[in-house]
Amino acid sequence: MRTLAVVGGGVIGLSAAWRAAGAGFTVTLFDPAVGSGSSWVAGGMLAPLSEGWPGEDAALEFGAASLARWPQFAADLRESTGIEVFVADQTLTVALDAADAADLRTIADFVNAHELPALAAKDISGEGDSDQTADAASARLRLLDRAGVRAAEPSLGRGVRAALLAVAEPAVDNRALVTALRAACVAAGVEFRAERVESLTDLPHDRIVLATGAAAAQLWPSLPIRPVKGEILRLRRRPSAPQPPTRVIRARVHGRPIYIVPRGDGIVLGATQYEVGFDTAVTATGVRDLLTDAESVFPGLGEYEFAEATAGFRPGSPDNLPLVGYLDERVIVAAGHGRNGILDTPVTADAVLALLEGEPLPEARAADPRRFPSVAVSGAPESFTAAPLYPGGVR
């Protein structure tokens, strides 16, 4: 019987444990507080297209590969647990000034020039007519003028002058996702141990998956993964308040990025970004900026009830791509997903399972930790050290 230890109980660790247990591994997951970290403090956006930028081809392709897997991933979770995780079907990135509007065109031109056939299906959430498909153009980004924005989301502020519509980018409820993954793991026979692992060498398992997010370098010091603090607010809709937007709304206001994600009882509003180490304090400045910036995009927000303010840690990497691959003959790292941990969950789970089964996943090759010379990789299985990262070498 093949044994696997998964260290870390966020969405990455839970999904890897679930998929490995389904493939026949005897899985033990170690985490003193499953699902309580950055996975619990997240917006749940699945937006690799809207976040595309010239030169970041690898990040676009990695995120798009995961987005294409989300319908089946969510369907499998729903079949196992009965929990639906999708909360929005599309993403609208808005611009309040001419410079931001120009950036939207740059993003659209860059993304639309790529062949992403896996995103051809318009109904990425899997909720529509399964017989209704569209050609690849349906997944492309579309620019909207002021009138188009008003038609799409009438509740947005009149200062919005343009937008980028991504019909293939939905969003999920991150907390429903954590709940569903934990239930799916239990159903698959995963053993949970509420223990903190101090050293990977203490674990006797055949294979180990290191999925502790921003804290991964504490167990493997050469990993270039750091905490990037983000504050998020949850606002509850009162009866007198306007309905939230039906889509995910993203914007930059005074140079600060914000997003508004609908939930059943209101909205999630995020997120600030600070390089301050493991500091969990929610600051008055962060709350003020988020509320002020968001109200300029969605004026009705002021009528909502302030329900929660929390901070979490994005596990940042130098190139904004995760690290997924062998570190030695037993240890596989799956960490460093930055702000895209929820988005990248399906492709990361598939990549980890592929590594466990002895064959790397082609779509995840850009995440190989060997791209960083500083990462200590030794004694990895031969099949994972003989070939270059990409045909013709590292790109």
Token pair for 304? 């909502």
Residue 117: its pLDDT value, please?
Answer: 55
Cβ(334)–Cβ(324) under 8 Å? yes
Residue 98 has pLDDT above 50, yes or no: yes
CATH topology of domain 3-42+174-225+318-384: FAD/NAD(P)-binding domain (3.50.50)
Q: What is the pLDDT of residues 266-284, one digit of tens each?
A: 999 998 999 999 999 999 9
Residue-range domain boundaries for the chain = 3-42+174-225+318-384, 86-171, 228-316
Residue 254: its pLDDT value, please?
Answer: 84
CA angle 212, 182, 223 (to 5 degrees): 10
d(CA 164, CA 75): 28
Topology alike, domains 3-42+174-225+318-384 and 228-316: no
Residue 68: its pLDDT value, please?
Answer: 94
Confidence of residue 8 (pLDDT cuts 50, 70, 90): very high
Token pair for 298? 């969605």
Q: What is the mean pLDDT of residues 311-322?
A: 96
CATH ID of 228-316, from 3.40.640.10, 3.90.1640.10, 3.30.9.10, 3.40.50.720: 3.30.9.10
Residue 379: its pLDDT value, please?
Answer: 75
Q: What is the DSSP string of 169-182?
A: --EE-HHHHHHHHH
